[in-house]
Amino acid sequence: MVELAPSILSADFAHLADNVQAVADGGATLVHVDVMDGHFVPNITIGPPVVASLRKCTRLPLDVHLMIENPDQFIHAFVDAGADWISVHQEACIHLNRTLEVIRSLGANPGVVINPATPVETLEEVLDMVDHVLVMSVNPGFGGQKFIPATLGKVRKLAAMRAAGKASFRIEMDGGIGPDTIADAVRAGVEILVAGNAVFGQGNPRENTQRLLKLASEATLLRV
Ligand code: DX5
Ligand code: ZN
């Protein structure tokens, strides 16, 4: 099943509970939470207190994407706040194996993220440790950026690596996903679609969610 994870980065932060309820009503099955520290990426967003507040207003799993330096220092705090999934950047982790183990030992689902310039081969040794691999289809830091088509090749490579090995991770994609790009992502093999601007940027978040999920499910019929 293809799932949509609306990114609250583009939501109205003064009405987060309503915005999350709207996307849940539209069929979203995850909530994507972008955490930025102003160091790993050139932007600052939210921390554990917002995750704790979100936890009280939705039963959907919280998919927390850490775009921070030294993520090990904060994993406990995000798990305590209610994060269900925690993904860390390969580029930010010196001891990636240990970081992923810590996430799992605390009871959250570990995921690993790669930037557009990072080859999938750098993940080979940890693919059997993660529940999801998040392929960035923009350079992280901001919502509303243009999708980078070359990242689709990495999705196909990951799917091939999974088929050849014993790992069973799911493939997630994040950045620039909207009505014009969603079908290409699904056809390449993406199973979890993150979308911020296309859900919350304009119009009605519930209807935008429904529309994106419809396009995604139509595209699964055309998978190559
Ligand atoms: C970007 C974030 C994304 C962002 C996606 O650094 O990781 O999750 O919210 O936003 P859109 O869908 O607007 O590109
Ligand atoms: Zn993200």
Provide block-wise average pLDDT over 10 residues at a time, the chain (224 residues). 97 97 98 98 98 98 98 98 98 98 98 98 98 98 98 98 94 98 98 98 98 97 74
Ligand 2 centre to CA of 101 (Å) is 21
Catalytic residue among 12, 174, 180, 184: 174
pLDDT of residue 155: 98
Ligand 2 centre to CA of 217 (Å) is 22
Place of tokens 């991770």: 169
Ligand 2 centre to CA of 67 (Å) is 8
pLDDT of residue 166: 82
Please tell me whether the overall predicted TM-score, pTM, comes out greater than 0.75 for this model: yes
Catalytic residue among 12, 18, 34, 80: 34
176 Cβ inside 6 Å of ligand 1: yes
pLDDT of residue 224: 61
Could you give the CA distance from residue 126 to residue 161 in angstroms, rounded to a whole number? 12
Query: Which residues contact residue 220 at a Cβ distance below 8 angstroms, ignoring those fewer than 6 apart?
Result: 2, 186
